[in-house]
Structure 1
Amino acid sequence: MLGVRLDTELEERLAAVARTQGRSKSDIAREAVRRYVDLHDDAYRREARRQSTRASARASVEDVVFWQDGAAWR
């Protein structure tokens, strides 16, 4: 469970939207948080994928030789 404090103006605006839409303030807040998290989680994953792809592209012949030599240590 999560409790959130809103300033008076934002709480009144939220209440007005909730009344207009026939929904609860909690329902609207839950949807807003879900959208925010989805947006930022997706952005984080895209950046991680971009960095991984970039790092893979930088792999050099020396890296390949290093890992092949390491296999001989086993």
Structure 2
Amino acid sequence: MLGVRLDSELEERLAAVARTQGRSKSDIAREAVRRYVDLHDEAYRREARRQSLRASKRDVAGDYAFWDGIAREDAAWS
């Protein structure tokens, strides 16, 4: 269950659209939230795929060399 507070102007506009379409305000709000979540969820998934592909193309040998160098520096300080 979700309660949403709307300013009076938006509430009136929503009510007018609901009357015009013969739907409830809740139906319209539910559809709007569903579309918003779908849009942003898909954008998140696209970004995750993009980062995953980018990471898979990295020079892993270079990464190992970098971390080995860090480990050697740490050992030198010990």
The TM-score bracket by the shorter chain reads 0.7 to 0.9
Aligned to 2:69: none
d(CA) in 2 for partners of 1:59, 1:52: 14
List gaps (5 residues or longer) in structure 1.
65-74
Runs of 4+ displaced beyond 4 Å: none
Q: CA RMSD of the aligned region, Å?
A: 1.5
Identity %: 86
What is the aligned length? 64
SS of 1:3's equivalent in the other structure is coil
* Pair member with larger Rg: 2
5 Å-filtered alignment, 1:23-62, equals 23-61=23-61
Q: CA deviation at 1:60?
A: 2.6
List gaps (5 residues or longer) in structure 2.
65-78
d(CA) in 2 for partners of 1:48, 1:41: 11
SS of 2:38's equivalent in the other structure is helix
Name the aligned partner's letter for residue 5 of structure 1: R
d(CA) in 2 for partners of 1:33, 1:39: 10
Q: TM-score, normalised by structure 1?
A: 0.81
d(CA) in 2 for partners of 1:59, 1:13: 55
- Tell whether 2:11 aligns with 1:11: yes
d(CA) in 2 for partners of 1:2, 1:39: 20
